[in-house]
């Protein structure tokens, strides 16, 4: 899942307009890095949510998420 695409596009457009001068695009660069940090924090939080219990059991939400992610294809011939 792609994140921070808008922020990255704004940053790159600013660079192009200002001959790739970081100083002229400091605000856009900061916004992009803030977005990346926020997305990384959310991703780490999601990973903690996806971990199994010490006994190795999954919650029903975790099972449903995995089944949606890896659907079983069956063919009836």
Dist. CA 25–CA 13, nearest whole Å = 9
Q: Is the dihedral of CA 34, 19, 17, 5 positive or negative?
A: negative
**Predicted local distance difference test score (pLDDT) of residue 77:** 62
> HSE of 28 in the Cβ direction (CA atoms, 13 Å)?
20
- Predicted confidence pLDDT, tens digits, the chain (77 residues): 678 999 999 999 999 999 999 999 999 999 999 999 999 998 887 766 556 566 678 888 888 888 888 877 776 66
> HSE of 22 in the Cβ direction (CA atoms, 13 Å)?
3
> Are the C-beta atoms of residues 5 and 23 closer than 8 Å to each other?
no
Task: Cite the beta strand spans of the chain per DSSP E.
Answer: none
């Amino acid at each position: 899942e792609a994140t921070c695409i808008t922020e990255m596009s704004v940053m790159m457009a600013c660079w192009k307009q200002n001959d790739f001068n970081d100083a002229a695009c400091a605000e856009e660069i900061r916004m992009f890095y803030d977005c990346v940090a926020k997305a990384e924090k959310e991703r780490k939080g999601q990973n903690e949510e996806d971990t199994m219990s010490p006994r190795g059991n999954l919650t029903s939400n975790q099972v449903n998420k995995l089944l949606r992610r890896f659907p079983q294809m069956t063919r009836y011939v």
